[in-house]
Amino acid sequence: MTPILYSFRRCPYAMRARMALHAAQCKVELREVVLRDKPQAFLDVSPSATVPCLVHANGVIDESIDIMRWALKQNDPHGWLDMPPDAIDWISRTDGPFKYALDRTKYTSRYPNDDTTQHHANACTFLGDLDRKLDLWLFDKPSLADFAIVPFVRQFAFIDKPWFDAQPWPNVHEWLSNLLNGPTFSASMQKYPQWRPLDGPVFFPDPML
């Protein structure tokens, strides 16, 4: 069977999964989910009822990092999996403390009892550390870590882009710009209509991109 990816274009977790699938040129049937109108076929297979969710011949993968690894184990032409052990630490910091602070900075109405100023400061501490670590890439060359982290930095940046651009993080700014203007991100952000059960299949990645 062709694997099926349930996705949502603007979700940062789904972004990272699509980027890895594109890099691996791993063909999937893409089913674009509208989160306020989740189809029953998606709810029937996703343990968490969240995107992304990959259904393949041997089971279901419900975590975005695991989808990235699965795709790259099929085909890793750019060597994204070739990264040092501390790459996992950077991904964990992004998915853990940074994402926690990001949500409480961006979605203040969801967390009325939280200290937004402190969460914003915590996110900035992470970005300062990232700026000191970056030298074009996190490591010697592009890796899974860069593409796993960038959707969340992008999300933080666009809370207030003029403010973000004015911050003293030149390496972060260059890295973010390079990735967002690169072919992998651009191809992964193509728009697709909401999937309906009677629709014909839509395949990703598009071989023309």
**pLDDT per residue as tens digits for the range 133-180:** 999 999 999 999 999 999 999 999 999 999 999 999 999 999 999 999
Q: Are residues 178 and 92 in the same domain?
A: yes
Q: Are residues 95 and 163 in the same domain?
A: yes
Assess whether pLDDT exceeds 80 at residue 209: no
Q: Are residues 70 and 94 in the same domain?
A: no
Q: Are residues 139 and 196 in the same domain?
A: no
Q: Are residues 69 and 37 in the same domain?
A: yes
How many angstroms separate the CA atoms of 99 and 149, rounded? Answer: 10
pLDDT of 3 reads: 98
Mean pLDDT of 9-21: 98
Q: Are residues 138 and 72 in the same domain?
A: no
Contact 71, 26 (CB under 8 A): yes
Q: How many structural domains comprise the chain?
A: 2
pLDDT of 151 reads: 98
Mean pLDDT of 109-130: 97
Q: Are residues 57 and 90 in the same domain?
A: no
| Confidence label for 1 from pLDDT (cuts 50, 70 and 90) | confident
Q: Are residues 49 and 115 in the same domain?
A: no
Determine what percent of the chain is predicted with pLDDT higher than 70: 99
Q: Are residues 91 and 150 in the same domain?
A: yes
10, part of any domain: yes
60, part of any domain: yes
pLDDT of 206 reads: 80
Contact 184, 147 (CB under 8 A): yes
Q: Are residues 63 and 93 in the same domain?
A: no
209, part of any domain: no
| Confidence label for 39 from pLDDT (cuts 50, 70 and 90) | very high
**pLDDT tens per residue, range 67-95:** 999 999 999 999 999 999 999 999 999 99
Domain coverage including residue 161? 85-185
What b-and-e string marks burial along 171-204, b requiring 16 or more CB atoms within 10 Å of the CB?
ebbebbeebeeeebbebbeeeeeebeeeeeeeeb
How many angstroms separate the CA atoms of 108 and 93, rounded? Answer: 21
CATH code of residue 106: 1.20.1050.10
| Confidence label for 208 from pLDDT (cuts 50, 70 and 90) | low
CATH code of residue 23: 3.40.30.10
pLDDT of 61 reads: 98
Q: Are residues 59 and 131 in the same domain?
A: no
pLDDT of 207 reads: 65
Assess whether pLDDT exceeds 70 at residue 98: yes
Q: Are residues 149 and 121 in the same domain?
A: yes
